[in-house]
């Protein structure tokens, strides 16, 4: 019995001697927790602050890696982004944002200047559309969803600028279906707008390809595929909005007809894709031209055959970039768009507008939750409740 006890005692001593304490993973722990932990395991901790794009006060790194034998540790904590980077990148989140207005994308040769299919450039060739996308990308623009822009969610990297793409009229060349694959999925014509966009999605993964399509009663005018198209789009990062049932001119109809024109489209979209459409109306012909028009309130809210709707934003047929969602001038209920066409750099075509943007474009700090702008722009900031920094 005594012998057995001695063996146990020796084993106990040995296991105590071998017992090592290993470093814990501190990456998701609070500073308070880290201090208590180090105190408990008998090591010292030194906190060092460092510039970083992780939020201020958050953990960056630990000198003793998790799972290693425990030792005195240095923990690096973020003191936010180096303000010199804002200066170097000309960060200005009160600058302007281009919302591009497209209609048809045609796989034909251009009849007019710079890839315009029609005289006024509402219709573009597929190759001109590719050139446009290359131009936006190489000039430092990254796409954001229209609904995110409207809601002030602008998630593009430091030094880059947001751009929004829209398509009106639900033309079949926006997303031309050429058949179904073995799984019943739509096969998209690579020269239709979405075909080109999907090609750019694989070519430039950081472009954040997206667009919002504004449809009429005929949806995408491909009867057998319309429902599949709507579902495919909302499941692949695109959005669908309202362009009125019959492409109505709201300055020429009464209020009941206005409610029908808007409400019937929302109701139809809801029956096909549930709540996955956006409550945004692209005004046909850009009409009415001001918000004081009697029909504007019927565009913004109403009830059609028991279906209640509310519109967040309307889009005009504008000519220039709209404002930052954080600017005093921003009015999300009545937004301006740029007609995406080519006119040798004059009359507010793409080139003309992007030249104008050089002096006042929105340039991101890379953090969607922090609004950064130069100090001399502070009087233009519309929401001091948001986390912000001026330099």
Specify the residue for token string 């005594």: 2
* Residues near Zn ion (CB under 5 A), total: 3
Cα separation of 50 and 79, whole Å? 6
Radius of gyration for the alpha carbons in the chain, expressed in angstroms and rounded? 28
The helix (run of H) or strand (run of E) holding residue 338 is strand 338-339
Q: Closest distance between Zn ion and the C-beta of residue 325, in Å?
A: 25
Q: Closest distance between Zn ion and the C-beta of residue 231, in Å?
A: 23
Q: Closest distance between Zn ion and the C-beta of residue 247, in Å?
A: 6
Token pair of 23 as six digits: 């470093």
Stretch that binds Zn ion, among 23-31, 36-44, 146-154, 276-284 (CB under 5 A): 276-284
First to last CA, the chain: 79
Site string for Zn ion, 238-267 (x = CB under 5 A): ------------------------------
Among 284, 288, 302, 325, binds Zn ion (CB under 5 A): 284
Specify whether the backbone of 6 is left (phi greater than 0), alpha (psi in -120 to 50) or beta: alpha
Nearer to Zn ion, 96 or 124 (CB): 124
Q: Closest distance between Zn ion and the C-beta of residue 272, in Å?
A: 20
Largest CA distance in the chain: 107
Which is it for the CA torsion 120, 122, 128, 131, positive or negative? positive
Nearer to Zn ion, 177 or 282 (CB): 282
Peptide bond into 85 cis (omega under 30): no
Nearer to Zn ion, 207 or 334 (CB): 334
Q: Closest distance between Zn ion and the C-beta of residue 284, in Å?
A: 5
Stretch that binds Zn ion, among 63-71, 164-172, 204-212, 270-278 (CB under 5 A): 164-172
Nearer to Zn ion, 24 or 168 (CB): 168
Q: Are 143 and 162 in contact (CB under 8 A)?
A: yes
Nearer to Zn ion, 216 or 367 (CB): 216
Among 24, 93, 148, 169, binds Zn ion (CB under 5 A): 169
The helix (run of H) or strand (run of E) holding residue 136 is helix 126-138
Residue showing the smallest CB distance to Zn ion in the complex: 168
Stretch that binds Zn ion, among 56-64, 161-169, 197-205, 290-298 (CB under 5 A): 161-169
Nearer to Zn ion, 91 or 100 (CB): 100
Q: Closest distance between Zn ion and the C-beta of residue 283, in Å?
A: 9
Stretch that binds Zn ion, among 65-73, 250-258, 283-291, 326-334 (CB under 5 A): 283-291
Cα separation of 380 and 391, whole Å? 14
Q: Closest distance between Zn ion and the C-beta of residue 76, in Å?
A: 54
Stretch that binds Zn ion, among 94-102, 268-276, 281-289, 346-354 (CB under 5 A): 281-289
Peptide bond into 288 cis (omega under 30): yes
Q: Are 6 and 54 in contact (CB under 8 A)?
A: no
Q: Are 282 and 311 in contact (CB under 8 A)?
A: no
Nearer to Zn ion, 38 or 283 (CB): 283
Q: Closest distance between Zn ion and the C-beta of residue 213, in Å?
A: 11
What are the angstrom distances between the C-alpha of 68 and each of 18, 20, 62, 63? 15, 10, 11, 10
| Binding of Zn ion by 168 (CB under 5 A) | yes
Distance of CA 36 to the CA centre of its chain: 41
What are the angstrom distances between the C-alpha of 45 and each of 22, 33, 38, 181, 313? 15, 12, 6, 60, 52
In the region spanning residues 322 to 361, those forming contacts with Zn ion, defined by CB under 5 A, are none
Q: Closest distance between Zn ion and the C-beta of residue 241, in Å?
A: 12
Nearer to Zn ion, 52 or 174 (CB): 174
Q: Which positions lie near Zn ion, rule CB under 5 A?
A: 168-169, 284
């Amino acid at each position: 019995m005594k012998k057995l006890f001695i063996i146990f005692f020796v084993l106990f001593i040995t296991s105590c001697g071998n017992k090592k304490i290993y470093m814990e993973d501190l990456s998701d722990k609070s500073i308070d927790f880290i201090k208590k932990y180090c105190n408990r395991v008998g090591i010292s901790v030194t906190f060092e602050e460092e510039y970083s794009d992780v939020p201020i006060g958050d953990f960056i790194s630990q000198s003793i890696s998790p799972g290693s034998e425990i030792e005195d540790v240095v923990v690096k904590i973020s003191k936010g982004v180096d303000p010199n980077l804002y200066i170097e990148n000309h960060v200005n989140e009160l600058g302007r944002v281009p919302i591009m207005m497209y209609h048809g994308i045609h796989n034909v040769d251009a009849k007019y200047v710079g890839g315009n299919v029609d005289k006024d450039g509402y219709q573009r060739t597929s190759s001109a559309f590719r050139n446009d996308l290359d131009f936006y990308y190489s000039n430092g623009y990254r796409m954001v969803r229209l609904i995110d822009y409207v809601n002030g969610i602008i998630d593009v990297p430091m030094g880059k600028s947001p751009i929004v793409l829209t398509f009106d009229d639900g033309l079949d060349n926006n997303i031309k279906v050429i058949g179904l694959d073995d799984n019943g999925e739509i096969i998209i014509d690579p020269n239709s707008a979405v075909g080109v966009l999907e090609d750019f999605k694989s070519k430039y993964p950081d472009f954040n390809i997206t667009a919002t399509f504004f449809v009429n009663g005929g949806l995408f005018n491909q009867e057998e595929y319309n429902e599949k198209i709507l579902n495919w789009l909302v499941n692949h990062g695109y959005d669908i909005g309202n362009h009125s049932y019959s492409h109505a001119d709201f300055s020429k109809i009464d209020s009941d007809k206005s409610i029908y024109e808007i409400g019937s489209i929302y109701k139809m979209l809801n029956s096909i894709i549930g709540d996955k459409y956006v409550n945004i109306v692209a005004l046909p012909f850009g009409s009415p031209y001001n918000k004081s028009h009697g029909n504007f309130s019927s565009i913004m809210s109403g009830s059609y055959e028991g279906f209640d709707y509310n519109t967040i934003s309307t889009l005009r047929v504008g000519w220039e970039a709209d404002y930052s969602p954080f600017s005093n001038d921003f009015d999300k209920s009545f937004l301006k768009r740029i007609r995406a066409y080519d006119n040798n750099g004059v009359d507010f075509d793409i080139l003309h507008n992007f030249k104008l943007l050089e002096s006042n474009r929105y340039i991101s700090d890379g953090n969607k939750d922090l609004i950064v702008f130069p100090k001399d722009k502070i009087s233009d900031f519309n929401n001091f409740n948001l986390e912000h920094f001026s330099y």
